[in-house]
C-alpha cells in the first residue's frame, strides 16, 4: 500500500490580499458596564471633543462610527482600536512557515452612550471592548478628548435588593445559575455564600430554591439566564444567554450565530446594526433602573489631605456633595475660621458641580440662608472665593445674593458688604458693568455708585475696569457705537481730573492724568519704547505697552450754517468720513476720508437743517459707524438778574480758596505723618471741619457749606477725602 503523499502546495495558497479579521457581526460575547461621573453633562463640549477624536494614523483609539440622535441629553459613538494583526503563511518551496503583520487594522470596538442623569451629571455606558480595550484605555480616551478625569468616574453597581426582585419576578423559571449570600436557614449557618447551578434550567419548584425565594434575608449577588430577543434586523427571534454580576455591576451577553434580513456591508453600518441589537437585548433584560443609588454623607469624607490644597483629589467631595442633604449640612456648619481642609475642598467641589441646574438653584437657596443667618459670614465667603480661582462660580452666586439683598441687611453692615461687592465686581465681574455719562452713575451687580461714594483707590480701579469692559464691547460692536464711545470718553474725562501720579493709578491712567497720551506718530517717541511708522501702529503700540485703547469720541454742532465735527476723545479717528442722513458716502455733502486727531475738528457741508450725522472711521483694523446728534446753537438772552452771576463768581472763588487751603493742609499732614513714621509713633489725623476751613479762607461757614455741597468739582471732593484718610495723605502728590 502506497503511503499518502502530502504536498503543501495542494493545501496552502498564497495570500493575495490581507486576511479578513473577525468582523463586528461575528462577536459572540459582549460585556456592558455603566459608569457615573461627577462632571456636569455638556452636550456641546462632548460633541466637539468627539469630533476631534476620529481615528487617524496618529489617533490609535478613537471614533469609528457615530449614530445621529435627536435631543440634547444623549450621544452615541462607536470607538475603534487600531493595532497590528499577525497572520501565518507558508513558503511551500522552501517548506518553512512565514509570519506577516498587517498594520492599522481595527482589532476591537466598543459602543459608548453618553447621557445626562437625573442630577444633570454625565453618565456613560460602555458595551463591548474585548480584552484589548481596558478600563484604563477608556479612561485615557475620555480624559484626552472629553476632559473627563479618571478620578471623576466610578463604575456603577447593581442594587442587590432590586436584583433579587428582577431574578425572582422575571427569570425564576429560566435560571442556570444563582449565587446568593446571608441565608437564614439552619443548614446555611456556617456558609456566607452559596451557589445553585445547572446545565439546564433550575427547576423553579425545587425545594431549596423555594426556600431561598421565601427567605427575605437572602441577597442575590448574581444569576445566569436567557431571553428571547426580537429585532427588525433579524430573520427570526434569537435566544440570548446573559450573566448578571451584582457586585461588579456587569451584564454579559452571549449571542448565538445570528441571521440578518439584510446583512450590512460596510464596517460602520455593521457597528451601528450590531450595537443597536445589543441595546435592544439589554433593555429587554434591564427593564428598569437596577443600579444602586446610595448617597454618601459628609462624615464619610477623608479630611486628612496633606499640606497643599491644590494637590487634593476632589472626586470624593464631588460624589458626596452631589447629595442635596450633604450640601445643606455643609452650609449649615460652615466656619471659615476652621482649618482649610474642613471647607475649601468642599467649596471647590461645589464650584465644579454648579453648571448643573439643580445644584445651582439649591446652592443659591443655601447661600440665601447663610446671608440671613450671618451676613458677614457670607461677605467673608465672597472674599475667600475672590482669592481662589477654583471657587469663582460659588463667588458669583454669593455676590448676586448679597447684591440683591443689600438694602434689607442691617445698616451698620452695609458699607462693609458694599465694599466687598465692589471689590468682587472689579476683580471678577464683567457683564454687569455700565456707566451713565450724563449723571456719572456707575452700575455693577445691580448696585449703583456715584464717584463721590468711593475712595480714590477704588475709583481708579473702577475706571480701569470700565475701560477694559467698554473696550471689549467696542471691539465686538456691530452697529451704532456712539453710546459706547461716549461712555469710554467719560472714563477718560474723569481720569484727567484725578490727582497727578497717585501710586494706585495704573500706568495707562497715569498717561491720561498727566496728559501724555500720544496723538501722533511724532508724539509716540516721548512715551513709547520703540518707534512706530503710522497711526494703526501707534494704536497697537500703546495698547501693547500700556494696555490703553485709544478710542475717539465725537461732538457735532451747527453754528452759522455749518456743521462742525470735533474729536473730543483720546484717539485718532482713522479714515474718518461723515455725511448727513439720506446722503450716500461719496456724494457732495460728504467729507473726504481723512484722519481726525484729538482736539481737532472738521466741517461737514450740509443742506437744510439735519438732526444727525452719519460717521464712519477705522480703529484696530475694523470699520465702525455711528449716528451722531447735531446740537444747534441757541441765542441765550442776557440774564436779567446780575446777582446770580455774582453769586456764582463768589462760589467759584470760595472753591478755589478751599482747594488751595486743603492742598497746604494735606502737605503739612503728610510731613507730620512722615515724622511720626520715622519716630515709630502713631499719628492721629485731625478732623478737618467746615468751621476751620471758613476761618482759614476768611468766609462764612455757610459759604463753605454751600460750596462743598453744591459744587461738582471732582478735585475738591477728592481733596476732602484725602484730608481725612492717612493712606491717601501719604500718597498725595501734586
Reported as a single tens digit per residue, the pLDDT across 719-729 is 888 888 887 77
Instruction: Give the per-residue pLDDT at 254.
Output: 92
Instruction: Return the residue matching grid coordinates 457705537.
Output: 481
Flag whether pLDDT at 168 surpasses 70. yes
Q: Among 40-54, 350-364, 685-699, whose mean pLDDT is lowest? A: 685-699
Q: For 583-596, what is each residue's pLDDT tens digit?
A: 654 545 556 788 99
Confidence of residue 239 (pLDDT cuts 50, 70, 90): very high
Q: Which of 713, 726, 602 minimizes the C-alpha distance to 657?
A: 713
What's the burial of 717, exposed, middle or buried (CB within 10 Å: 0-12/13-18/19+)? middle
User: Do 506 and 547 meet the contact criterion of CB atoms below 8 Å apart?
Assistant: yes
Helix (H) or strand (E) holding 697: helix 690-697
Q: Which range among 127-141, 294-308, 345-359, 689-703 shows the weakest confidence by mean pLDDT?
A: 294-308
Q: Return the minimum-mean-pLDDT range out of 296-300, 350-354, 406-410, 430-434.
A: 296-300
Contact, 360 vs 354, CB < 8 A? yes
CA 538 to CA 523: how far, in whole Å? 10
Closest CA to 563 of 594, 600, 609: 609
Whole-number pLDDT of residue 69: 65
Position 381 scores a pLDDT of: 95
Which pLDDT score, from 0 to 100, does residue 670 have? 82
pLDDT (mean) for 554-558: 89
The answer, yes or no, to whether residue 679 has pLDDT greater than 90, is no
CA distance 101 to 88: 9
pLDDT at 645: 40
Instruction: Encode pLDDT of 371-421 as tens digits.
Output: 999 999 999 999 999 999 999 999 999 999 999 999 899 988 988 999 899
Q: Which whole number is the average pLDDT over 621-633?
A: 87
Phi, psi of 380 (to 5 degrees): -65, -35
pTM above threshold 0.75: no
Nearest 5°: CA angle at 441, between 440 and 447?
A: 165
The predicted pLDDT at position 501 comes to 57
Strand intervals (E) in 568-621:
573-579, 594-596, 601-604, 612-619
The confidence score (pLDDT) of residue 642 equals 44
Q: What average pLDDT does the segment 153-177 reach?
A: 92
356 and 40 Cβ atoms separated by less than 8 Å = yes
Q: Which of 252, 255, 211 is closest to 231 using CA atoms?
A: 255
Mean pLDDT of 335-347: 91
More reliable by pLDDT, 145 or 23: 145
| Interval 311-328 mean pLDDT | 86
pLDDT band of 635, cuts 50, 70, 90: low
Encode pLDDT of 262-307 as tens digits: 888 787 788 888 888 999 999 999 988 889 876 677 877 777 777 7
CA Rg, the chain, in Å? 39
- 3-state DSSP assignment of residue 558: strand
Residues 171-183: what's their mean pLDDT?
91
pLDDT-derived band of residue 332, with 50, 70 and 90 as boundaries?
Answer: very high
477-484 long-range contacts, Cβ below 8 Å, gap at least 24? 477/624, 479/625, 480/625, 480/626, 480/627, 481/624, 481/625, 481/626, 482/554, 482/626, 482/627, 482/628
Closest CA to 219 of 174, 177, 162, 172: 162
Amino acid at each position: 500500500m502506497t503511503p499518502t503523499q502530502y504536498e503543501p502546495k495542494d493545501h496552502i495558497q498564497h495570500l493575495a490580499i490581507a486576511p479578513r479579521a473577525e468582523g463586528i457581526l461575528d462577536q459572540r460575547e459582549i460585556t456592558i458596564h455603566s459608569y457615573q461621573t461627577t462632571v456636569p453633562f455638556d452636550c456641546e463640549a462632548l460633541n466637539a471633543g468627539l469630533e476631534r477624536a476620529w481615528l487617524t494614523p496618529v489617533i490609535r483609539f478613537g471614533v469609528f462610527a457615530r449614530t445621529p440622535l435627536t435631543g440634547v441629553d444623549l450621544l452615541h459613538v462607536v470607538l475603534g482600536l487600531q493595532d497590528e494583526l499577525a497572520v501565518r503563511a507558508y513558503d511551500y518551496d522552501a517548506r518553512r512557515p512565514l509570519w506577516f503583520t498587517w498594520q492599522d487594522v481595527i482589532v476591537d470596538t466598543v459602543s459608548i452612550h453618553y447621557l445626562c442623569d437625573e442630577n444633570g451629571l454625565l453618565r456613560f455606558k460602555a458595551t463591548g471592548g474585548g480584552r484589548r480595550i481596558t478600563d484604563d484605555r477608556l479612561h485615557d480616551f475620555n480624559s484626552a478628548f472629553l476632559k473627563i478625569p479618571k478620578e471623576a468616574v466610578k463604575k456603577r453597581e447593581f442594587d442587590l435588593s432590586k436584583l433579587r426582585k428582577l431574578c425572582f419576578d422575571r427569570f425564576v423559571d429560566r435560571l442556570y445559575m444563582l449565587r446568593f449570600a446571608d441565608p437564614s436557614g439552619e443548614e446555611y449557618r456556617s456558609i456566607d455564600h452559596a451557589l445553585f447551578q445547572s446545565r439546564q434550567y433550575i427547576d423553579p419548584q425545587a425545594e431549596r430554591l423555594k426556600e431561598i425565594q421565601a427567605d427575605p434575608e437572602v441577597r442575590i449577588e448574581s444569576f445566569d439566564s436567557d431571553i428571547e430577543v426580537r429585532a427588525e434586523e433579524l430573520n427570526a427571534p434569537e435566544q440570548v444567554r446573559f450573566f448578571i454580576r451584582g457586585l461588579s455591576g456587569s451584564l454579559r451577553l452571549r449571542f448565538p450565530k445570528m441571521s440578518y434580513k439584510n446583512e450590512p456591508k460596510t464596517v460602520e453600518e455593521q457597528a451601528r446594526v450590531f450595537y443597536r441589537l445589543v441595546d435592544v437585548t439589554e433593555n429587554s433584560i434591564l427593564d428598569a433602573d437596577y443600579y444602586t443609588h446610595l448617597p454618601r454623607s459628609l462624615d464619610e469624607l477623608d479630611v486628612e489631605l496633606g499640606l497643599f490644597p491644590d494637590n487634593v483629589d476632589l472626586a470624593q467631595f464631588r460624589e458626596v456633595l452631589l447629595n442635596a442633604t450633604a450640601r445643606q449640612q455643609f452650609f449649615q456648619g460652615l466656619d471659615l475660621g476652621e482649618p482649610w481642609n474642613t471647607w475649601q475642598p468642599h467649596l471647590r467641589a461645589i464650584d465644579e458641580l454648579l453648571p448643573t441646574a439643580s445644584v445651582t438653584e439649591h446652592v443659591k437657596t443655601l447661600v440665601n440662608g447663610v446671608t440671613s443667618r450671618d451676613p458677614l459670614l457670607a461677605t467673608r465667603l465672597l472674599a475667600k472665593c475672590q482669592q481662589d480661582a477654583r471657587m469663582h462660580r460659588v463667588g458669583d452666586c454669593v455676590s448676586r445674593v448679597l447684591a440683591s439683598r443689600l438694602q434689607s441687611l442691617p445698616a451698620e453692615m452695609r458699607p462693609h458688604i458694599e465694599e466687598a461687592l465692589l471689590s468682587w465686581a472689579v476683580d471678577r465681574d464683567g457683564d454687569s458693568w455700565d456707566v451713565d455719562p450724563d449723571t456719572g452713575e456707575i452700575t455693577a451687580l445691580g448696585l449703583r455708585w456715584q464717584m463721590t461714594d468711593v475712595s480714590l483707590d477704588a475709583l481708579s480701579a473702577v475706571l480701569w475696569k470700565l475701560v477694559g469692559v467698554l473696550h471689549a464691547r467696542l471691539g465686538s460692536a456691530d452697529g451704532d457705537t456712539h453710546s459706547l464711545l461716549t461712555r469710554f470718553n467719560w472714563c477718560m474725562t474723569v481720569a484727567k481730573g484725578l490727582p497727578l501720579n497717585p501710586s494706585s493709578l495704573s500706568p495707562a491712567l497715569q498717561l491720561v492724568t498727566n496728559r501724555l497720551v500720544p496723538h501722533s506718530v511724532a508724539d509716540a517717541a516721548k512715551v513709547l519704547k520703540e518707534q512706530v511708522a503710522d497711526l494703526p501702529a501707534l494704536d497697537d503700540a500703546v495698547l501693547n505697552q500700556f494696555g490703553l485703547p485709544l478710542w475717539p469720541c465725537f461732538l457735532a454742532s451747527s453754528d452759522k450754517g455749518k456743521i462742525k465735527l470735533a474729536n473730543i476723545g483720546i484717539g485718532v479717528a482713522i479714515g474718518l468720513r461723515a455725511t448727513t442722513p439720506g446722503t450716500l458716502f461719496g456724494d457732495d455733502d460728504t467729507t473726504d476720508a481723512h484722519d481726525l486727531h484729538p482736539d481737532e475738528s472738521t466741517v461737514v457741508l450740509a443742506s437744510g437743517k439735519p438732526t444727525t450725522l452719519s460717521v464712519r472711521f477705522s480703529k484696530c483694523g475694523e470699520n465702525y459707524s455711528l449716528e451722531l446728534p447735531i446740537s444747534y446753537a441757541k441765542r441765550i438772552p442776557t440774564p436779567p438778574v446780575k446777582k446770580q452771576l455774582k453769586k456764582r463768581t463768589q462760589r467759584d472763588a470760595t472753591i478755589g480758596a478751599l482747594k488751595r487751603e486743603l492742598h497746604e493742609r494735606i502737605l503739612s499732614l503728610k510731613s507730620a505723618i512722615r515724622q511720626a513714621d520715622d519716630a515709630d509713633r502713631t499719628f492721629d489725623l485731625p478732623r478737618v471741619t467746615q468751621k476751620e476751613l471758613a476761618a482759614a479762607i476768611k468766609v462764612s461757614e455757610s459759604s463753605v457749606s454751600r460750596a462743598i455741597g453744591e459744587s461738582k468739582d471732582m478735585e475738591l471732593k477728592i481733596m476732602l477725602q484725602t484730608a481725612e484718610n492717612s493712606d491717601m495723605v501719604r500718597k498725595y502728590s501734586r
